[in-house]
Amino acid sequence: MKALLYPLLCLASLMQALRISAQTTEPALKITHLTGDFYVYTTYKPVNGNPFPSNSMYLVTSKGVVMFDTPWDTTQFKPLMDSIQARHNKPVVLCIATHSHDDRTAGMSFLQHNGVPTYSSKLTYELCAEHPERRPEHYFTGDTTITIGNHTFQTYYPGEGHTKDNIVIWFANEKILYGGCLVKSIENNGLGNVADANISAWAPSIKKVMKRFRKPTYVIPGHFGWSGKKALKHTLKLIKKAR
């Protein structure tokens, strides 16, 4: 029995070491070119002892760089700004938060101190009142079309879902839907954090997005991969399963 136990313990130790090695080799900041002037950046925070990815996006325009949400990992605020400057030789001129959780708003104060205007919906602005360091400086009311340099995009509030304030952003020319945490990756097996969710309203909100923005070329979820185009339908399946 002892002869069998020792190899098993060694194997367990080896597997644990491999898991730790895999965790520590994950880059703290990953920037991926999506298409044209669009980039997805991913930062990580430990969840249950494992690095958990959070996706955000930025757009390079003729007037400067627009960020959609901020890094979740607070150590990556400056590295992201430095990387943007080094890659594109342009400043960040605007950041829009898509809801009030810290995986979208953690860098608001940092950006403001660096002279970057920060915006959100009025509802997100109000929900951030309990976290002043994460509160955007400005807000817009209702769905808004914004033009920065050579790019135009729309913000859209479809209703409650992951949170009561979640919005999506649509880039009509490129047919890119930045879904944030309202949309789940096809890699997800569940809805994740539902502490502030409205499960009964989530599916109708997704259906509104699908009806309004048809046949997107890319759908960017708040967490995990975005390689598939079926993230919206997959989110509906997960909602049905949760209910």
Residue 179 has pLDDT above 50, yes or no: yes
Positive or negative, the CA dihedral 58, 142, 215, 204 is positive
The residue among 229 and 180 whose pLDDT is bigger is: 180
Q: Write down the pLDDT at residue 25.
A: 63
Q: Which of 134, 173, 178 is nearest to 156 (CA)?
A: 178
pLDDT-derived band at 228 (thresholds 50, 70, 90) equals confident
How many angstroms from the chain centroid is the CA of residue 240? 23
**CATH class of the domain comprising 26-242:** alpha beta
The arithmetic mean of pLDDT across residues 218-241, rounded, is 95
Residue positions annotated with a catalytic role: 99, 101, 103, 162, 193
Residue 17 has pLDDT above 80, yes or no: no
pLDDT-derived band at 227 (thresholds 50, 70, 90) equals confident
Across all residues in the chain, what is the average pLDDT? 91
* pLDDT digits 0-9 by tens, 34-48: 999 999 999 999 998
